[in-house]
Amino acid sequence: MSTLKSVGLLTSGGDAPGMNAAIRAVVRGCIYHNLRIFGIRRGYQGMIDDDIEEMQSNSVSNIIQTGGTILKSARSMEFKTAEGRKKAFENLRKRGIDALVVIGGDGTFTGARIFGEEYDMPIVGIPGTIDNDLYGTDYTIGYDTALNTVVEAVDKIRDTATAHSRLFFIEVMGRDAGFLALRSGIASGAEAILVPEVKTDYTQLNHFLENGFKKSKTSSIVLVAEGDEIGGAIKIAEKVGKAHPEYDVRVTILGHIQRGGSPSAFDRVSASRLGVSAVEALLAGKRSIMVGLSNKEVIHTPFSQALKNKKALNPQLLELTNILSI
Ligand code: F6P
């Protein structure tokens, strides 16, 4: 029998579509299990600033379909200090909050791990980031929506690229990971995909440009992950443009459009499952873990593992790109 009574909930780091669906699931999961639930605004900074309010079932009405996060998000420098965390803990204690659910990425879980150890507080994390770069889950909340946003944008760029027989370098987000670039590249039929996990091979790229683009003269799309060691789409476009002045080269950086929008059905369902699972994990006495989805099942991964291990890109998808871009 759990002694848990009150749970605090926050979203932190870069927002991701589906965070609201996860908030809804945590709030309703708590109420279903007779727990009080407190929303903390602006992530860890709101915990320090005492920006905390109790939530009810109707606090989360009509949000499953919306992007962003109703709790707002922030990256708090103050929470990195012991004084900041002490202030945060005192604000939780005075309200009787005895556990936390945090939604975010690796920065969020790093903070949670330190805080949980320092104040002996049970904390469960829900992976929410468009980057999909967390070990311990096949998919993070927001990734699927961002993927579809990128594909829709690339399809549109393809129209104009074809009309002008141009070579486009399109940069997508992902921080230092290439999940978004790789999968959206396959889905949009990109001729080449540059990801940080694989060293950019100029010879191969040149070969493709000479044999593919030059010959067909229709259009070509090269997807560049922002974290690629090459330094992003602008740099590589400059280099290729200099080497091939005969090509009509353009660059598009998709930017924060990838973070917004109504979440896909897939993200809404994942968020709903993970939100309720996080509450149930706390009730089962779990702490310092992230809930994730592996082979369609909910699994628990200790923060220490989720933070230490690097999730690998699927080698079959990498190989697929080589085959399909001939
Ligand atoms: O982690 C999500 C993400 O969108 C990354 O893909 C990107 O590198 C970063 O956040 C951008 O952060 P900000 O919104 O603070 O510029």
* Residue from 145, 171, 259 whose mutation best tests the ligand 1 pocket (most atoms within 8 A of CB): 259
15: annotated active-site residue:
no
256 Ramachandran zone, left/alpha/beta (phi>0; psi -120 to 50): alpha
Amino acid in position 149: T
So what's the pLDDT on residue 217?
A: 66
259 lines ligand 1 (CB under 6 A): yes
Question: Which residue, by CA, sits nearest to atom 13 of ligand 1?
Answer: 14
14 lines ligand 1 (CB under 6 A): yes
Domain 6-142+263-308 coded CATH 3.40.1050.10 = no
Name the residue ranges covered by the structural domains of the chain.
Answer: 6-142+263-308, 145-259
Q: How far is the CA of 14 from the centre of ligand 1 (A)?
A: 6
So what's the pLDDT on residue 246?
A: 87
Evaluate whether 6-142+263-308 and 145-259 have a shared fold. yes
The edge-to-edge listing of strands for the beta sheet with 6-11 is 52-55, 36-40, 6-11, 99-104, 123-127, 289-294, 297-302
**Bridge partners of residue 249, in order along the sequence:** 167
pLDDT lower than 50: segments of the chain? none
The edge-to-edge listing of strands for the beta sheet with 220-225 is 192-194, 220-225, 167-172, 249-253
CB atoms within 10 A of CB 34: 8
Question: Which residue, by CA, sits nearest to atom 6 of ligand 1?
Answer: 174
So what's the pLDDT on residue 202?
A: 77
Q: How far is the CA of 112 from the centre of ligand 1 (A)?
A: 19
- Between CA 218 and CA 131, with CA 153 as vertex, the angle to 5 degrees is 120
127 lines ligand 1 (CB under 6 A): no
Which residue, among 140, 201, 195, has the nearest Cα to 173 in the 3D structure?
A: 195
So what's the pLDDT on residue 205?
A: 79
- For the domain made up of 145-259, give the CATH fold: Rossmann fold (3.40.50)
